[in-house]
Amino acid sequence: MVGLQHDAHKRVEQFSKGMKMRLNFIRAIMHNPNIVFLDEPTSGLDPANARILKDIILRLKQEGKTIFLTTHTMSDADELCDRVAFIFNGQILALDTPEHLKRQGEEQQVVIGFDSGNGVVQKVSFPLHDIGHNDSFLAALRTHTITSIQTDTRTLEHIFIQLTGQTLL
């Protein structure tokens, strides 16, 4: 499942950090537990192996397993967790779904990028609320060659830093 079959003959002491992480991950789930505790499961992994572990975690969730995950990687928390708790100095500062946490507080913006000539991309933001009736937004769509359009949503990392005044380690 995690690509260690070709290293079965090696002693674990010869494994790299990433190989040890994958081995420990498999050890945690090999007995098909209903509750799984994972501490920084993607730490030390290259993107391809991290993706493999995240896909397994998502599959375990679909099977109805309860997974407790600790991580400093907010993109992992956003992708993998149904609920997130920010713990700082032993206190829970926030507890909610990732999506709800990201939508609280600041108003969401729609950011469009358009070619302003000579290959220069200009970006302009508009409030998401009632975007379909925003004359400036609609005029920009009609008059420019749009190169990108996205919702500018706060990230979990931004929220953690805002709540704690600390950066992630």
pLDDT in tens, 42-95: 998 999 999 999 999 999 999 999 999 999 999 999 999 999 999 999 999 999
Please list the helix, strand and coil fractions of the chain in percent, rounded to the nearest 5, in that order.
Answer: 40, 25, 35
Residue 45 lies in a domain: yes
Q: Are residues 142 and 84 in the same domain?
A: no
Residue 168 lies in a domain: no
Residue 167 lies in a domain: no
Q: Are residues 12 and 65 in the same domain?
A: yes
- Percent pLDDT > 70 in the chain is 97
Q: Are residues 87 and 115 in the same domain?
A: no
Q: Are residues 147 and 76 in the same domain?
A: no
- Per-residue pLDDT, 28: 93
Q: Are residues 147 and 87 in the same domain?
A: no
Beta strands of 40-117 (E only): which ranges?
A: 66-70, 84-88, 91-96, 109-115
- Residue 167, pLDDT above cutoff 70: no
**Strand-pair partners of 68:** 37
Helix (H, G, I), strand (E, B) or coil at 88: strand
Question: Whole-number mean pLDDT of the chain?
Answer: 90
What are the backbone angles phi and psi of residue 38, rounded to the nearest 5°? -125, 125
- Percent pLDDT > 90 in the chain is 59
Residue 98 lies in a domain: yes
- Domain range spanning residue 114? 107-153
Query: Cβ distance 3 to 49 under 8 Å?
Result: yes
CB atoms inside a 10 Å sphere around CB 63 = 9
Q: Are residues 125 and 90 in the same domain?
A: no
DSSP structure string for 102-148: HHSSSPPEEEEEEE-STT-EEEEEEESTTGGG-HHHHHHHHHS-EEE
Helix axis angle, 17-29 relative to 47-62, nearest 10°? 10
Q: What is the pLDDT of residues 68-79, one digit of tens each?
A: 999 999 999 999
- Per-residue pLDDT, 104: 81
Q: Are residues 55 and 90 in the same domain?
A: yes
Q: How many domains in the chain?
A: 2
Q: Are residues 66 and 147 in the same domain?
A: no
Residue 162 lies in a domain: no
**Strand-pair partners of 35:** 66
Q: What is the pLDDT of residues 102-117, one digit of tens each?
A: 888 677 889 999 887 7
Distances (CA, A) of 100 to 43, 73, 82, 84, 97: 26, 18, 11, 10, 5
Q: Are residues 12 and 94 in the same domain?
A: yes
- Residue 153, pLDDT above cutoff 80: no
Q: Are residues 47 and 65 in the same domain?
A: yes
The domain that holds 56 is classified in CATH as 3.40.50.300
Q: Are residues 33 and 14 in the same domain?
A: yes
**Strand-pair partners of 114:** 122, 146
Q: Are residues 112 and 82 in the same domain?
A: no
Q: What is the pTM of this model?
A: 0.75
